[in-house]
Amino acid sequence: MIKQYRKLHKLSQEKLAEEIGISSRHLQRLEHNEENTRISTFKKIVKALDIPDDEIIRFIKR
């Protein structure tokens, strides 16, 4: 979901990571579901990418 919305907004991993204050490697791991993150970081990603609530719920339910 994160990668899909990042690409929709035409952002590189580096640019998004910089905007939300994490490393691009951490973002890469999140996009590939290799790592969990803090809720505060997840909120920053959701806000930066303007992800709709219904998408977030679907993502969490997986």
pTM of the model: 0.83
pLDDT in tens, 8-58: 999 999 999 999 999 999 999 999 989 888 999 999 999 999 999 999 898
Structural domain total, the chain:
1
Enclosing domain of residue 25: 2-61
CATH code: domain of residue 57: 1.10.260.40
Q: DSSP labels for 39-62?
A: HHHHHHHHHHHT--HHHHHHHHH-
Taking the C-alpha atoms of residue 3 and residue 56, their distance in angstroms, rounded to an integer, is 13
Per-residue confidence (pLDDT) for residue 36, from 0 to 100: 87
